[in-house]
Amino acid sequence: MRITTWNINSVRLRKELALEVLKQLKPDVLCLQETKCPDALFPFQAFRDIGYKYIAVNGMKGYNGVALVSRIPFESESALNWVKRTDSRHISAIFPGDIEIHNFYVPAGGDEPDVKKNDKFAHKLDFINEVKHWFSANRKKSDRLVLVGDLNIAPLESDVWSHKQLLKVVSHTPVEVLNITQLQEELDWIDTTRHVHPEPEKLFSWWSYRARDWSTSDRGRRLDHIWVTSPLKPFITNSSILREARGWEKPSDHVPVTTELQLH
């Protein structure tokens, strides 16, 4: 089972890039974030035309939005709201083998890493904390779970271009790292990318649009993640980041991240 996660930054604007990702990576399930698309306007047919017939969406006009695009049938799809907001940041479904995939778009958190000065940063920390408590109350370590998405946090020193320079920059601050680590520890989640490519290898999945030459400066961060619970750990066989996608025409600032589970 090959799973790809990608913050596409508008599924209608980058529909053709999404189709290229599917052709190149051939995932069984593509998890999209920041689709920026009401459900009724999602380009269902474009995906179905190339064999991805099973689609679940939780979108809204202009902002946020998540989707599961699959060539495998799934059931029991669910979209949950967090921190008392209806802002389309989660969707999940149960796949064959009782594998439950949760696709998240965690709030970015604004520019100032101070909950008293910045409501967006407080929202981000509250969101992660609520997700942690939900899994603790509703799921077990023995469940076959996958958590993917743009988590908007680069937790490790080798997940950012400069640990020291980004300690006070939203996405790599100590309080964010602490929160995401506590979420990870709640069900003993395994970070599949780091399982295959351990530290100190530098790995990034996001490069700012502000960079004139993103590839040469390479000031990236690893904000996009695929985690699995312990029952799925033995099946992790590969993990990759499609860096070249950042250089495509009119790209997203994120690139696809893929994990392969050899279940058979």
Task: Say which CATH number the domain at 14 has.
Answer: 3.60.10.10
- The residue among 109, 89, 103 whose CA lies nearest residue 152 is 109
Q: Are the beta carbons of 228 and 5 closer than 8 angstroms?
A: no
* Residue 212: pLDDT band with limits 50, 70, 90: confident
Domain count, the chain: 1
Does position 264 have pLDDT exceeding 80, yes or no? no
Residues 80-103 have pLDDT tens digits of: 999 999 999 999 999 999 999 999
Residue 106: C-alpha distances to residues 50, 81, 134, 203, 204 (Å): 29, 12, 15, 20, 17
Where residue 193 falls among pLDDT bands split at 50, 70, 90?
very high
For residue 8, the tally of other CB atoms under 10 A from its CB is 26
Residue 117 phi, psi dihedral angles, 5° rounding: -95, -20
Range of the domain at 188: 2-261
- 151-177 pLDDT, tens digit each: 999 999 999 999 999 999 999 999 999
Higher pLDDT, residue 229 or 264: 229
CB 245 within 8 A of CB 157: no
- CA angle in degrees (0–180, nearest 5) for 54-30-44: 45
Side-chain half-sphere CA neighbours of 262 within 13 A: 6
Task: Count the neighbouring beta carbons within 10 Å of the beta carbon of residue 215.
Answer: 12
| Longest Cα–Cα distance in the chain | 51
Write the pLDDT tens digit of every residue in 1-58: 999 999 999 999 999 999 999 999 999 999 999 999 999 999 999 999 999 999 999 9
